[in-house]
A and B are shown apart, each in its own frame.
Chain A
Amino acid sequence: MPGAIHAEGLVKTFGDVTALDGVDLDVPEGTVLGLLGPNGAGKTTAVRVLTTLLRPDSGTATVAGVDVLKHPNEVRRSIGLSGQFAAVDEYLTGRENLQMVGQLYQMRSGAAKARAGELLERFHLADAADRPARTYSGGMRRRLDLAAALVVSPPVMFMDEPTTGLDPRNRQALWDVIKELVSGGTTLLLTTQYLEEADHLAHDIAVVDHGKVIARGTSDQLKARTGGERVEVVVHERDAIAPARGILARYGPGGRGLDDVSVEDHTRKLTVPVTGGAKLLAEVIRDLDAVGIEIDDIGLRRPTLDDVFISLTGHAAERARDEENGTGRPPGKDRTNRKEPAA
């Protein structure tokens, strides 16, 4: 049985740019799929197709069992959408915004009013409820946008980079809301650039790049593919790099000896993949100390989003660029730091 969100072979091109290049997705009911990818990978385009905002060139999709292309208005009754750009009317107050959305979901005006009050309380916007949304901070706007998506508590939610640009406190608050939703049975498709976020919230992760799903799995599976933990050491003297490398190689996977240890000469940083955690770190420090190598910094590093990306795609995720927004920014162009795939 197909999941609450199911897509097969989605293709969408903008001019000569292929935003989606045959995307298949399946999100079982009540679970969270994290769509992870750099800017321009096609995440937003995928969300726009699934939320009926954009017609794909080819492919099929169902949401809550309803065909997205054949019965878009039926799909709209089952979904909530919240994005990185808060979609609220800045001249309307928070309360007016939520009431309007409720009424457009075909609620009666009294019911819409009551629900608006409830959500404003829940999202800590009660004090600002009767101020125009343009006086809200970024975090408040985002909360209002999310509240608008939850007016009818839709069984399927789409969140497009919900925490991009939020400060840590607001991000945490949003995560709590998302967890609450999911524990209430909501199916969620979440796009993000942050592995940490996907890690926290998603049952499954699909890594997207150049309009294709290039890897799927749980966050543990993905991390395993990137090589797990590493020890990073910064030595004090350049001369210490060579002996330190020899010591570190003992803790590596062992297959390639010295080649297991990567060296950055100018920062005097050595990195080696390890298994064994914190206990091993103490041993490394002891060994280096025993031969008198002075160290500036040492640490156990877990894979970051960049590691996942470099490993899976051969290029780093770029966070600084403007997110693709369906206006046809060429995905994948002007990438400067392209490398050969690591494995």
Chain B
Amino acid sequence: MTSLTDRAPRVPAARGGIAQSFADSLVVTKRNLIRMSRIPEMILFGLIQPVMFVILFTYVFGGSMQIGNSTDPDVYKNFLMAGIFAQTVTFATAGAGAGIADDMHKGLIDRFRSLPMARGAVLTGRTMADLVQTAVTLLVLAVVALIIGWRPGYAAPTNAGKIMLGFALLLLLGYAFTWIGALIGLSVRTPEAATSGGLIWLFPVTFISNAFVDSSKLPGWLQPVAEWNPFSATVQACRKLFGDPGLSPSDAWPMTYPVWASLIYSILIVVVFRTLSVRKYRRADG
């Protein structure tokens, strides 16, 4: 009965720096993935919602939408997918926020904060796990899109490399938005508040954009908002890379160079919100 102290391992020397930060983040990522796999209904709802959006938008709005000069539902269907993909990845925000708020709420965060682990790892681990979940959701959604008639290259030639790049930009956008979710999760008192707080602002962000309608048909004062919306840049980039119809003809910079704009916006969001979140986490007084 002496195993408590006699044979107990001593604390290994801290590896420190990036290596430890990465290793710790992976441990927390694994923990969150195990959690997610034990709550399969969460994954299921995460899948049903975007699939439902694809079907509703395609068949409800499809016949009434004019993209460019075309009112062909087929054109709208192909136009829509990039928007739905982008909206879906941003919805990971709510999951990340709720997960982190839940951790903060329970005693577990005190355990983490009392361990000699990298300070950002709890948050990075969560956002990385969300990235994995987003990737799975996106894959399922792409298959559904193909089944109901999305055809990459519909309006312009594309290739596998461009399509991969498009999905990479989507994942990066989703990853960036989970850091916004992390900050929300750290700022609210309950997981429920994090879920609604993580979702509400996404509606204006994703709707005042080029995702679901031709942004040139928005009221004049809204057009620049939509065109400079970081979310729109990724949608435009995907349309361009996938060869989808309905590219915005605007000469606003993010619409002209959407791939670069998407990349810069997403990286900027990660840098800003990761810094703010990690700082807030360190100061969290529980």
Contacts and interface: CB of A to CB of B under 8 A. Distances in A.
Q: Do chains A and B interact in one complex?
A: yes
How big is the A interface, by class? 35 or more
B111 A81 contact: yes
A185 interface: yes
A42 to B, nearest CB: 14
Contacts of A52: 113-114
A342 interface: no
Q: Tell me whether chain B's interface is mostly helix, strand or loop, or mixed.
A: loop
A43 interface: no
B147 interface: no
Interface in B10-26: 10-15, 20, 23-24
Contact of B116 (A106, A118, A180, A327): A106
Given A76-B115, A118-B3, A185-B5, A92 B10 contact: no
B286 interface: yes
A18 B238 CA distance: 55
B34 interface: yes
A106 to B, nearest CB: 5
A184 B15 CA distance: 28
A122 interface: yes
Interface in B139-161: none
A215 interface: no
B122 to A, nearest CB: 9
B9 A153 contact: yes
Contacts of A103: 23-24, 27
A152 B9 contact: yes
A83 B110 contact: yes
Contacts of A51: 110, 114
B10 A152 contact: yes
Contacts of A119: 3
Given A54-B285, A106-B20, A100 B12 contact: no
A331 B39 CA distance: 39
Given A52-B114, A83-B107, A87-B111, A106 B12 contact: yes
A186 B2 CA distance: 13
Nearest to A14: B285
Contacts of A122: 1, 3-4
A171 interface: no
A184 B5 contact: yes
B34 A92 contact: yes
Given A96-B34, A103-B27, A185-B5, A152 B11 contact: yes
B280 interface: no
Contacts of A88: 108, 111
Query: Which of A52, A77, A79, A150 is packed against the most chain B CB atoms within 10 Å?
Result: A77
A288 B108 CA distance: 59
B286 A54 contact: yes
B4 A100 contact: no
A326 B10 contact: no
Interface in B80-126: 106-108, 110-117, 121
Given A48-B286, A96-B31, A77 B11 contact: yes
Interface in A94-131: 96, 100-101, 103-108, 111, 115, 118-119, 121-122
A181 B5 contact: yes
A154 B2 CA distance: 14
Contact of B286 (A53, A100, A180): A53
Contact of B4 (A53, A106, A177, A327): A177
B117 A104 contact: yes
B107 A180 contact: no
B14 to A, nearest CB: 6
23 contacts: A48-B286, A52-B113, A53-B110, A53-B114, A53-B285, A54-B286, A81-B110, A83-B110, A85-B106, A86-B107, A89-B35, A96-B34, A106-B14, A106-B117, A111-B9, A118-B7, A121-B3, A122-B1, A152-B8, A154-B11, A177-B4, A184-B4, A184-B6
Given A87-B110, A180-B1, 14 more contacts: A48-B285, A77-B11, A77-B14, A100-B28, A104-B24, A105-B12, A106-B12, A119-B3, A150-B8, A152-B8, A177-B4, A180-B5, A184-B2, A327-B286
In the A-B complex, the 10 residue pairs with the closest CB atoms = A153-B8, A184-B5, A87-B107, A87-B111, A85-B107, A76-B116, A91-B35, A104-B117, A77-B116, A81-B114
